[in-house]
Amino acid sequence: MATDPFRQRLPTLDKLGVTDLPNISPSEVASEWLDTFSAAISQSDAGAVVNLFLEDGFWKDVIALTWDLRTFEGRNDITKLLDARLAVTSLREIRLLEEPLREPALQKLFPDLAWIRFCFGFTTKNGKGTGVVYLVPLPDLKWKAYSLLTCLDALTDFPEKVGPLRNNRADHGTWEENRRQEIEFFNNDPTVLVIGAGHSGLETAARLKYIGVPTLIIDKKPRVGDNWRDRYKALCLHDTVWYNQTPYLNFPSTWPVYIPARKLADWLEGYAKFLELNVWTASTIKRSSWDDTTKAWTVEVNREGKEARTLTVKHLVFATGMVSRPNIPDIPGKASFKGSAVHSSQFTSAANYIGKKAVVIGTCTSGHDIAQDFFNHDFDVTMYQRSSTFVITAQTVAKILGANHQDGFPIELADTYSTSLPHVVIRRLFQRTVPAMAQTIDKNILDGLTKVGFKTNLGPYGTGLASLFYERGGGYYIDTGTCQHIINGDIKIKNGCAIEGFTENGLAFSDGTELHADIIVFATGFGDHLDAMREACGDEVASKVGAVWGMDNEGQLQGVWRHCGHD
């Protein structure tokens, strides 16, 4: 088995040399630690600051000090961060936050692991932010930081135009024409061009609009939300409604926990209108070029039914999602197959196909959803499993997300807490929780799958969903009901052998068997995330961009939400 590069011991009581947790006031401990921290920061005393951390402690920064997403591990690296960035960012006005949900609290994660979590506010020369600290006890009754987050929340020079800063002028008949002018950019070019009007594209544009940055979104599809409408009809989100909230406009409290794709599509279309975002649909980039002298892009945009436009913009944002070019295995003999064979991106509904036998190749989310759809339409359906799959029930995912993702919990604070721990720490925690939940909450489902031959795993090094998502972008299934149909035999499983080729009536396998099928669906994922960038900007630009997705050596996502390798 490969060595896990992240496998380090958590700061357990035994590792810290602590026999029993002391009886303390979390607020008093947090106040004492933060006062010492603040004094050291104000004196630019890096040595005094790092002495407040464990030797193997972490400082995670989201924009506040580094203008990037960074994680620094150990006192030496934290010292380098402070030496390089403390003076130039002018970290100051550090204050304990004690309002409900932010107040210091002792959290007992396991019998041998506990910490005090608390929040603090701070100011830099660029804006205001929130910090989150995790303190662990030492034998001398002192508490030191295992992990600290600094996250910039607002920019001083570009405050969000919300609440008291919203537009307070009465409009008497000019709004409609003003919106038309704004959308069409008749008198100026946008500063930012966002490619893709899905969840992330719209949210990015909304944040930019309300800090005063002129932004245009273009999308190749006819309507906002078509990226969801055009997928298979059975598609429904497998994570909860709270985890998918949109900024400035929350889903109604009446909405289901798991949102159907077409319902979400309509929401996104309405969101773009209600937030007054500037969107050109049925629009594609014909060509683009980068001027390294002016640091600007010239972009020619084709608009269906309208005159093409050439724009000069400072920034391109590719919000083109995880769905790129379909990844279809090269299987010999396809011309001989009498039935239909499509990728999941081309599949809409089992109702569109005549016949009573279906094969779905792939056993992650799309594979399960499509197999379920075939079963619901009375098909004889078999899933072909190429490799083991991490399976976790939706109920367990909701439990992992916990109280931070439920009605009444502020979304902004949930986001802060969710990002507060370094990925390496999350992995260490999940190496305990994932196997434990597999042996308790999800035991019946996983045992049932094993009995019918479905192969499961616990994710990389037993860390489950988070590692698979951030490192691979797939390889898992969050169960919303299909697993029971597999266990019952309603959906059959084929694995343990390779596909040798198509036959006239289906697929031949290396074990000498053949699966008959009228329709074969390849739920085999998608290709390179850079495909959309190559199409819009060409190979030369794309070649300068580094890896997109997957973790770097600090446990941060590569090329996403940060510098990607090209200005």
In a domain, 339, yes or no: yes
- Parallel, antiparallel, or unpaired for β 309-313 and 113-123? unpaired
What is the domain count for the chain? Answer: 3
* Residue 136, domain CATH: 3.10.450.50
Q: Can you tell me which residue has the tokens 């049932």? A: 448
pLDDT for position 8: 59
Do 268 and 404 lie in a common domain? no
394-401 vs 423-438: helix crossing angle, rounded to 10: 140
pLDDT for position 7: 47
In a domain, 261, yes or no: yes
Do 446 and 518 lie in a common domain? yes
Do 345 and 480 lie in a common domain? yes
**Rounded to an integer, what distance in angstroms lies between the CA atom of residue 390 and that of residue 360?**
18
Do 142 and 211 lie in a common domain? no
List the structure tokens of 125.
Answer: 């020369």
* Residue 352, domain CATH: 3.50.50.60
pLDDT for position 323: 74
Do 134 and 185 lie in a common domain? no
Cα dihedral 30, 32, 35, 39 sign: negative
> Which structural domain range is residue 185 located in?
175-323
Do 244 and 219 lie in a common domain? yes
Do 350 and 435 lie in a common domain? yes
Distance of CA 357 to the CA centre of its chain: 36
Do 101 and 180 lie in a common domain? no
Do 292 and 212 lie in a common domain? yes
Do 91 and 62 lie in a common domain? yes
In a domain, 450, yes or no: yes
- 5 Cβ contact list (under 8 Å, min separation 6): none
**Rounded to an integer, what distance in angstroms lies between the CA atom of residue 300 and that of residue 284?**
9
In a domain, 533, yes or no: no
Q: Of 294, 323, 352, which residue constitutes the final position of a domain?
A: 323
pLDDT for position 482: 97
Per-run averaged pLDDT (10 residues), the chain, 567 residues: 57 94 94 98 97 98 97 98 97 97 96 97 98 96 96 97 94 95 96 97 98 98 96 91 93 95 98 98 96 97 94 97 86 96 95 91 96 96 97 90 80 94 95 95 97 97 92 92 97 97 97 96 90 92 91 93 92
Collapsing DSSP states into helix, strand and coil, what is residue 19? Answer: coil
pLDDT for position 374: 97
**b (16+ CB within 10 A) / e for 184-219:** eeeeebbbbbbbbbbbbbbbbbbebbbeeebbbbbb
